[in-house]
Amino acid sequence: MDELETLASLLAVSNCVVVLTGAGISTPSGIPDFRGPQGLWRRVDPEKFTIEHFFADPDEVWSLFVNHFVVGNAEPNSAHMALATLEEWGKICGIITQNVDGLHQRAGSKRVVELHGSLKYAVCTSCGSKYPLADVLKEYRGVAPRCKICGGLLKPDVVFFGEPLPRDAWEEAVSLAQVSDLFLAVGTSLAVAPANRLPYIAKSSGAKLAIINEEPTELDHIADVVIRGKVEAVLPRLVQLTTYYLKGPSRGDRPL
């Protein structure tokens, strides 16, 4: 049995699969990741996305953000769709995402915990008012936008380096990790804390850990199953194979 078959057979007997996704699930949709071979950190200094630098030079950070982060017309891909299908089958009880692109929801996933915020809004750093980011961008003229209510500085509603995670999202993620029987990390280098603590939390609560990623990750050594490959190919194939294991080998031909 190869690793993909092992994972499909595990999935078939799991009742609460929790998935942690990272930027690698959205690269097939045309959104670059940070640390992969074509990653953003090869072009932009990560230090520019600390919260300290945002307040020191908000015009520069907004301009980098608009040029490198805004996802335009990106569409969900086959990996997002495969996860939505597994949720529809009642296998997945939640997706925890480090992504800010909203593509899981667009693919039809219902329970999505956004650990690092989202590109939907900009938030006032003084009074907390929120504005749809699309509206803010329509008026963006190269200068950091300001709050229409109090004049405070607006910030994209995503978590910058050095900022805490939204508390509710983190608590929900921890609860999901604790109740999962299979924890699946997909398209993430597992290099970013505290998201990379979730696999440990799941494992210590009794879950199996599986990792699907193109490159080695920081937690391969504690995983029960590691699949090195492209998410857009591996996940649809996993759905296919899981169907086979759900039916039982006697009822249906094994997919090629």
How big, in percent rounded to 5, are the helix, strand and coil portions of the chain?
Answer: 40, 20, 40
Among 23, 96, 133, 165, binds ligand NAD (CB under 6 A): 23
Nearest-angstrom CA–CA distance, 2 and 238: 12
**# of chain residues touching ligand NAD (CB under 6 A):** 28
| 116 included as an active-site residue | yes
- When asked if residue 100 is in the footprint of ligand NAD (CB under 6 A), the reply is yes
In which order are the strands placed within the sheet that holds 130-132? 130-132, 117-124, 154-158
Q: Which stretch binds ligand NAD (CB under 6 A): 19-27, 44-52, 126-134, 146-154?
A: 19-27
Residue 79: CB minimum distance to ligand NAD, A: 8
What is the sign, positive or negative, of the torsion defined by CA atoms of 184, 242, 255, 79? negative
Nearest-angstrom CA–CA distance, 48 and 41: 10
Among 18, 28, 133, 180, binds ligand NAD (CB under 6 A): 28
- When asked if residue 118 is in the footprint of ligand NAD (CB under 6 A), the reply is no
**DSSP 8-class letter at 146:** B
Q: Which stretch binds ligand NAD (CB under 6 A): 11-19, 96-104, 144-152, 247-255?
A: 96-104
The Cβ-side half-sphere exposure at 167, using a 13 Å CA radius, reads 0
Active-site residue identified among 68, 80, 116, 221: 116
CA-based nearest residue to 129, from 164, 161, 160, 153: 153
In the region spanning residues 171 to 200, those forming contacts with ligand NAD, defined by CB under 6 A, are 187-189, 191-192
Buried b (16+ CB within 10 A) or exposed e, 16-37: bbbbbbbbbbbbbbebbbbbbe
Q: Between 71 and 246, name the residue whose CB sits nearer to ligand NAD.
A: 71
- When asked if residue 214 is in the footprint of ligand NAD (CB under 6 A), the reply is yes
Q: Between 180 and 189, name the residue whose CB sits nearer to ligand NAD.
A: 189
Contacts to ligand NAD by CB under 6 A:
22-24, 26-28, 31, 33-36, 39, 98-101, 116, 187-189, 191-192, 213-215, 230-232
Residues known to be catalytic = 116
